Amino acid sequence: MRAILDSVVGVFTGLFTLGEADLVTIGINMIMGLSMFLPMTVGQLSFGQAGFMSIGAFVSVVLTLYAGVWFPLALLVAGLASGVIGFLVGVPVLRLRGLLLALVTFAFAQVVEVFFLNFKPTGAAEGIRGIFPYTNVWYVYGFLAVLVVFLARLRHSRMGRAFEAVKLDETAAEAMGVDVTRAKLTAFSTGAFVAGVGGALYAHHALFIQYDNFDFRRGVDIAMYMVLGGMDVFYGPLLGAFIITYLSTALQFLADWRWEVWGCIVILVMIFRPQGILGRDTLNVRRWVRARRAAPA
């Protein structure tokens, strides 16, 4: 019993003793959470972010390891490569909605995984080793800060309002003069770009990558960041990524039971907070309090 109590205490005290590697991992996962949030700003549920992450990872490694490209430039090229692929994929699939769109983007991620499994220039099934350890806290959180500022400004911009209109009602948005196709492609491609940069940062942190680093489980993890934290506000995936990444390590003292405990936590959140911990209704607490006070006794 004493050992269990000590382990539980370690979960909370460990929050203040996170090492640089832990912070980098958390930051990369936050970036991936935001990469999935971007398509959701126009109501698109994409499970293809793991595929875009894989493209960015392999492109950046080829550039830095074999071509000697400067790492920041490799990050940019990796993001652009993923963004272009995202645009090409988005053109035919953005007519789809809901579950059908999710299934198609999931299929795309599987195609990318199989491609790198058999693509010999990137190591095929053996992957790539000896990657330079360029990723650090400054690169990860510098890019994350730029991304957060961009999303914060996007909410109040003309494009952000267009995204919100498309998400709420495509027909009404088009009637108001919003170019729905352009809005969807922009959000989808931007999310792919962010995922590509996240993949490049991951590759130069892990120092070894292969096709199954970006499989179905990776896609589910990315989705869970947003579902747990909240998919209506951009800081929801940030919280979700932090909680999931931290608990994945902190619950190791439960040995084989930690995944069951984590699953129960997610189920409880979905029951009591289906919109996520930071769902949009949390922004209206003051309004609710004022309404309660103004209500007649």
pLDDT band per the 50, 70, 90 thresholds, residue 254: low
Range in 134-148, 156-170, 227-241, 279-293 the model is least confident about: 279-293
Are 201 and 34 contacting, i.e. CB atoms less than 8 angstroms apart? no
Give the mean model confidence (pLDDT) for residues 289-296: 53
Model confidence over 206-221: pLDDT tens digits?
Answer: 999 998 899 888 888 8
- The answer, yes or no, to whether residue 259 has pLDDT greater than 70, is no
Other Cβ atoms within 10 Å of 205 Cβ, number? 19
Query: Can you say how many angstroms the Cα of residue 166 is from the centroid of all Cα atoms in its chain?
Result: 21
Model confidence over 1-29: pLDDT tens digits?
Answer: 444 444 444 444 445 567 888 899 999 99
User: What proportion of the chain, given as a percentage, has pLDDT over 90?
Assistant: 42
Q: How many helices (H) and strands (E) does the chain have?
A: 13, 0
- The answer, yes or no, to whether residue 131 has pLDDT greater than 90, is yes
pLDDT at site 171: 84
Residues 6+ apart with CB under 8 A from 168: 43
pLDDT at site 170: 85
CA distance 216 to 212: 9
More confident of the two residues 99 and 164: 164
Give the mean model confidence (pLDDT) for residues 124-131: 90
Task: Please give the domain boundaries of the chain with CATH numbers for all domains.
Answer: 19-294 (1.10.3470)
Give the mean model confidence (pLDDT) for residues 178-196: 92
- The answer, yes or no, to whether residue 190 has pLDDT greater than 90, is yes
CA distance 163 to 179: 10
Give the mean model confidence (pLDDT) for residues 88-100: 83
pLDDT at site 292: 52
Range in 108-112, 129-133, 280-284 the model is least confident about: 280-284
pLDDT band per the 50, 70, 90 thresholds, residue 186: very high
pLDDT at site 280: 63
pLDDT at site 2: 46
pLDDT band per the 50, 70, 90 thresholds, residue 100: confident
CA angle 178, 182, 187 (to 5 degrees): 105
Give the mean model confidence (pLDDT) for residues 188-200: 95
- The answer, yes or no, to whether residue 95 has pLDDT greater than 90, is no
Give the mean model confidence (pLDDT) for residues 119-146: 92
Give the mean model confidence (pLDDT) for residues 84-103: 85
> What is the pTM for the complete model shown?
0.86
Are 225 and 62 contacting, i.e. CB atoms less than 8 angstroms apart? no
Token pair of 282 as six digits: 């949390």
pLDDT at site 5: 42
CA distance 229 to 203: 25
More confident of the two residues 286 and 268: 268
